[in-house]
A and B are shown apart, each in its own frame.
Chain A
């Protein structure tokens, strides 16, 4: 019994660190051991990380990423979902803020995955282009992302290039389309891009018969619901 309890405690500690990964991210990452707390502390030290601090890119971060990593993530995710007039992208949706908050919370187990992935990405860019990712032009950045996606980028061990790409793609989509409550999809940018009206409680028979776009306002988010006069019982 004592032995069982000891192993159980050990598991619970590991499980607590590793709780709550996303479906897709986890697929590529597999069972990721949690980063040692001490390692996190030393990494965070010296990084100006006041919550809500404005980054030069215009995106928010500070819960997890340092400035340099935040800039890389902002640039990378913007290439995955580029912003254009009338077409909100990762920067408009503040995907960086979503990922930053997720890594400080629900996806804390992926901190080391990101830390190592970013270091490998930088090493690959410097070896190939003599510049960090953020200094590459968009065409070069796309080349880098393509080489991650097809697994051809060299120097990646853990995470593998493909795993890192897949996870960033999944987290970018989450940041584009998850409820704004989670820090991305700012002003429903992602939902506006695709024409999703959000958490509608009801669609009428007329709605179901329509062959047109659904445009009835407002787009409904979780905070709208929470603040609503009568809620939605």
Chain B
């Protein structure tokens, strides 16, 4: 049982943990980082092995040893989810992610106000807990900029300081300067998608991705191998935390990474202060890190779980839960899909970075008039392979054949044999609203490898607002697919209620300690030296992938800790 002391302990070395470790370490603070998984290197990612990395999820948590359970509603028994879309190594999900790096729109930060102003309060579903953020886009802009430049994001500006720029996203919020790297090369699915979308008057553009299109910071650029989402990059072109911020943290001399470390408790004292954390080592030992500041930065489930597991007499409902909001307002994207297949040409969608290659933002956020549509908010619409990964196993798992074609037998063999190289999938990544009864709590039956209760997610995306939005988007995507000149167009199957990727919420941020768990800096209202940083704090989710916003929040919190908290510990907001 080891005990060590440090200034800062960070739980989870992913998108948030790596940034904080580097920034706080550079300022001279002693940082200990706990990581449940191993620390791999680029050399570990050489083999392009779809079975290992995509199908068997080698870079993600083993869902049997580290189960997360799901149920659609409280009347059914929760079962472990068999796909966990987060990371399980130093660098976290940024090692295997698809790298989509979006700045949220201005109205994404004030979706509630925006909706009321334009459509009236009655447009918000009565049971939705849609809320504005305690942060504006303008607050985050400098931190978005830092994340793009320090990590390396490729893309093209569509709005430079308020001036629209051709070729970028005309709906994006104004940015101070362009991306540090030009867009990645287009593949044929992007070419087709862009042509089709333009015919309909939409505004296609290359999705901004944390993959370097040119050599940058001594790293080699993308080789377009296509083994991208679900894989570690074999040349280090993916701007993962593993190849960007962790080396920076190492270089400070103030950072110590402990791998194989599973945090199981946040320790607090009678004064209500966090004193550190306890973790199991890879040998099963129970260890303690004492720290002045405790920062929790795991994937969202473990924030809620750790706070519930760490309850004391002083905090009988879990730490930082005086509001009663802990574990509530959980959100997740789902993907609605339309397939476009060609008889007269090849698409070769397995070439190039695999996730959400080319995008239209015309039906996202409040970028279109929702009057009379029966729903609010929208989705990012993009082209890519069936499940954001383009290998043949993934295709056989996720490319639903068109109506009338079976999923096995000679007809299926011929379908797959013909269209594997001749199709693209148009995906809508929907901004599902927050609802208070979408929750994370402790599973009463299922335990993990360490004997701790599994996080249990209660969630069903199939709400009237969300169903109406999906139907609207499917029709728009069918329109795009036809405009792309596809020979065959058909819809993919929809998720049966289960959350998709990018789970968010559970420790909501806000301006009011009565209705939120943390303030804008991720500092808990109840315990000023306990911070929760990451998408668990998102009040709403937008139709965009969350990682760049998570990273911008991490930079903002690091600044607040260094410039204000360090000299005067206490509430920052």
Contacts and interface: CB of A to CB of B under 8 A. Distances in A.
A20 B352 CA distance: 29
9 contacts: A1-B286, A11-B451, A18-B64, A20-B62, A22-B56, A27-B83, A173-B392, A201-B48, A233-B46
Interface stretch (A55-63, A79-87, A153-161): A79-87
The list of the 6 closest CB pairs from A to B, nearest first, reads A199-B48, A194-B420, A178-B51, A177-B392, A173-B396, A26-B82
A84 B55 contact: no
B391 interface: yes
A182 B51 contact: yes
B47 A208 contact: no
B413 A195 contact: no
Interface in B392-427: 392-393, 395-397, 407-410, 412-414, 416-417, 420-421
A232 B185 contact: no
B453 interface: no
B345 interface: yes
Interface residues of B, number: 59
A225 B46 contact: yes
Contact of A203 (B65, B352, B396, B408): B352
B449 interface: yes
Contact of B55 (A1, A22, A31): A22
Contacts of A125: none
A200 interface: yes
Interface stretch (B219-227, B306-314, B329-337): B219-227
B187 interface: yes
B350 interface: yes
A8 B286 CA distance: 12
Contacts of B284: 5, 8
Given A179-B51, A193-B413, A208 B62 contact: no
B348 interface: yes
Interface in A125-161: 142, 145, 149
Given A20-B56, A176-B396, A211 B47 contact: no
B105 to A, nearest CB: 30
Interface string A200-233: 1111110111111110000000100100000111
B185 A205 contact: yes
A222 B47 CA distance: 6
A212 B187 CA distance: 13
Contact of A8 (B50, B346, B450): B450
A208 B188 contact: yes
Nearest to B186: A208
Interface string A175-188: 01111011000000
Contact of A23 (B56, B395, B447): B56
A144 to B, nearest CB: 12
Interface of B: 46-51, 55-57, 62-65, 67, 79-80, 82-83, 185-188, 223-227, 234, 284, 286, 345-346, 348, 350-352, 391-393, 395-397, 407-410, 412-414, 416-417, 420-421, 446-451
Nearest to B394: A177
Interface string A34-61: 0000000000000000000000000000
A207 B349 CA distance: 11
Nearest to B350: A196
B436 to A, nearest CB: 29
A98 B395 CA distance: 19
A173 B397 contact: yes
A211 B56 contact: no
Nearest to B416: A194
Contacts of B226: 200, 203
B385 to A, nearest CB: 12
A19 interface: yes
A161 B56 CA distance: 23
A71 interface: no
A216 to B, nearest CB: 12
Contacts of B188: 208-211
A23 B451 contact: no
Contacts of B397: 23-24, 170, 173
A194 B421 contact: yes
Contacts of B350: 196
B56 A208 contact: no
A12 B449 contact: yes
Nearest to A26: B82
A174 interface: yes
Nearest to A173: B396
B138 to A, nearest CB: 38
A8 B393 contact: no
B68 to A, nearest CB: 12
A143 B175 CA distance: 60
A177 B352 contact: no
Given A23-B83, A80-B409, A191-B392, A208 B224 contact: yes
Nearest to B48: A199
Nearest to A182: B51
A30 B77 CA distance: 12
B408 A79 contact: yes
A119 interface: no
Given A27-B83, A208-B185, 17 more contacts: A5-B284, A11-B448, A11-B450, A27-B82, A31-B79, A31-B80, A79-B409, A84-B410, A173-B396, A191-B392, A194-B417, A196-B421, A199-B47, A202-B225, A208-B188, A209-B188, A213-B421
Contact of B417 (A19, A20, A193, A198): A193
Nearest to B82: A26
B223 A199 contact: no
B396 A177 contact: yes
A201 B47 CA distance: 9
A89 interface: yes
B421 A169 contact: no
A143 to B, nearest CB: 12
Given A194-B416, A202-B224, A208-B351, A177 B391 contact: yes
B417 A178 contact: no
B50 A179 contact: yes
A190 B413 CA distance: 10
A4 B286 CA distance: 11
Contacts of B186: 208
B52 to A, nearest CB: 8
A194 B392 contact: yes
A104 B542 CA distance: 45
Given A82-B410, A196-B350, A178 B55 contact: yes
Nearest to B42: A233
B418 to A, nearest CB: 9
A149 B351 CA distance: 33
B447 A11 contact: yes
Contacts of B67: 31
B414 A87 contact: yes
A28 to B, nearest CB: 9
A30 B187 contact: no
B46 A179 contact: no
